[in-house]
Amino acid sequence: MKIDKAKLYGPMVVFASWLAVFSLFGYRATFAMLKGPMAADLGWSQAEVTLGYSLMMTIYAITAFFAGMILDKWGTKPIYAIAAVFGALGFYLTSMISTQFAYFFTFGFLAGIATGMLWVTSTVSVRKWYVGKTYGTMWGIAFAGAPMAQWLLAEVVKNSMNNGGTWRSTMVTLAIIIFVLLVVAVLMAKRNPENYNLTPHGEVPVKAGETKHVEKVWTIKEAYSTYPIWGAIFMFLTSMMAEFLIWTQVVSYWVQDKGWETDSAINVYKIIGIIGIFSMPLLGIVADKIVGKVKNEAKGRKIMLIAGPIVGLLACILLLNCSTEVTFIAYISAAIFAIYWAIVPGGVVGYTGAIYGRQTLGKIWGLATLIVMGVGPFLGSFIGGWLKDFTGTYTYSIYYAIGSFAVSIILALSLPLLAKNKNK
């Protein structure tokens, strides 16, 4: 029975995380398509509509910290349940708004709580069940929910709007989808392996003559008095700045700087999501193979974190070489961005888990998410837009992204393989 549970519960956790990631990125993917019709119908500017999204990301970052604390103590079920209610209400009540105050409450506050409950929970819950040579693969499978949401829910929105639907009716449809998926996630979710007298899947191979490492249970204060967590935070933050700058600027760069048709630019941009469906699990397998080869999980995850921003930097260089017509270089650049996306977000959690263990990873990574997501997406998007306004071209925004990826590479190189505990 113990073996049967071990084989069954782990994949159930991964599937629940897939649903959570799908729902989280469903919010992000559909906003870009709905904000135009919302602005036209409500008579608001694009900035006024986008402000609701910015507020959502702020609440998301704050909520992520508390989600990590709940996760360590009570597991994933209550978090997914809260996300199901707030996620459905976020879309449904927004479909009924007519004032900005109501919009900020429904889409900014309620949806912010829902999305903030999902990221830390999905990443850390997989990490609590899969360690060593298994984490990368299983997280890659779970994270594939993100590009799948970008593709499938974009089709839901497009079909709804093209068949007589309004942004309001489309949001009602999305509310139902998010609620149903997260209720399924609640049913599939499991607590930590120890609650079932099980151990996590996977072990890091131990070299001859070495003894098996026993995890220390870290407090937040202890963890944040060491360099690895801060190195991981700033490595991730600089990559996120560059990433969100590109996500928010690249279509406009192709259209305004290169003169492409909007449909052509969007079609190339969609390649990132399509490739991501396959690159995320495949790169997870690669990461786990590296961990097995070097026989040190922290070292294996560090290698991938060095490779991730290098890949992002290369994609930016290719962007600068795009011509005034859609060429193969643009598609290659989009594909490479999908590879970057498959490496860094999950890899940095894997590295942090390898350093600090599983027991209090929710709290530790929840606070890291608060810092990174509270700063990176906003600052990257803002700097990209400001540089366009200041210089009249998106080219300098891409230069900035290259510089941010370069700093991320340096920080990744600096990551140690152990955290020195002063109290030890």
- For the stretch 406-421, pLDDT in tens is 999 999 999 999 887 6
The answer to whether residues 226 and 182 belong to one domain is no
pLDDT of residue 188: 94
Residues whose CB is less than 8 angstroms from the CB of residue 378 and which lie 6 or more positions away in sequence, other chains included: 54, 57, 58
90-113 pLDDT tens trace: 999 999 999 999 999 999 999 999
**316, amino acid identity:** C
Do 239 and 116 share a domain, yes or no? no
**CA angle 341-305-112, nearest 5°?**
50
CA distance 292 to 283: 14
Q: How confident is the model at residue 1 (pLDDT cuts 50, 70, 90)?
A: very low
The residue length of the chain stands at 424
Give the residue from 373, 312, 419, 355 showing the smallest Cα distance to 120.
373
191 & 226 share domain: no
Domain interval for residue 370? 220-414
Q: Do 190 and 317 fall into the same domain?
A: no
- pLDDT, one tens digit per residue, over 268-301 is 877 888 888 888 889 989 998 999 898 888 999 9
How far from the centroid of its chain's Cα atoms is residue 349's Cα? 11
Q: What is the CATH number of the domain that holds 234?
A: 1.20.1250.20
**Would residue 214 count as lying in a domain?**
no
In whole angstroms, what is the distance from residue 110 CA to residue 93 CA?
Answer: 9
Please give the model's pTM, rounded to 2 decimal places.
0.80
Q: How many domains does the chain have?
A: 2
Would 344 be classed as within a structural domain?
A: yes
Q: Which residues have C-beta within 8 Å of that of residue 371, sequence separation ≥ 6? A: 61, 233, 237
Q: Is 215 domain-assigned?
A: no
State the alpha helices, DSSP H only, in 75-129: 77-94, 100-103, 111-116, 119-129
Are 141 and 178 part of one and the same domain? Answer: yes
| Domain co-membership, 157 together with 38 | yes
d(CA 275, CA 146): 11
Q: What is the mean pLDDT of residues 26-53?
A: 81
On whether both 275 and 387 belong to a single domain, the answer is: yes
pLDDT digits (tens, 9 = 90+) for 60-88: 888 988 888 888 888 899 999 999 999 99
Domain boundary (196, 231, 250) is at: 196
* Tens-place pLDDT, residues 164-213: 888 999 999 999 999 999 999 999 999 888 888 888 887 655 555 555 55
Q: How many angstroms separate the CA atoms of 264 and 378, rounded?
A: 27
| CA nearest to 143, candidates 345, 313, 364 | 345
CA dist 125 and 72 (Å) reads: 9
Flag whether 421 is in a domain.
no
The model's pLDDT over 326-374, given as tens digits with 9 standing for 90+, comes to 788 888 998 998 899 889 988 898 899 889 988 888 889 888 988 988 7
Is the residue at 361 inside a domain?
yes
Specify if 419 maps to a domain: no
Residue 273 maps to a domain: yes
Burial of residue 166, with CB atoms counted within 10 A of its CB: 0-12 exposed, 13-18 middle, 19 or more buried? middle
Where a domain ends, among 196, 228, 261? 196
Same domain (yes/no): 129, 240: no
For residues 46 and 111, membership in a common domain is answered with: yes
Do 187 and 269 share a domain, yes or no?
no
Six-digit token string for 401: 């992204």
In a domain, 210, yes or no: no
261 and 404 share one domain:
yes
Please compute, for residue 149, the number of CA atoms within 13 A of its CA located in the half-sphere on the CB side.
23
User: What is the rounded CA–CA span in Å between residue 81 and residue 79?
Assistant: 5
Residues 165 and 265 in one domain: no
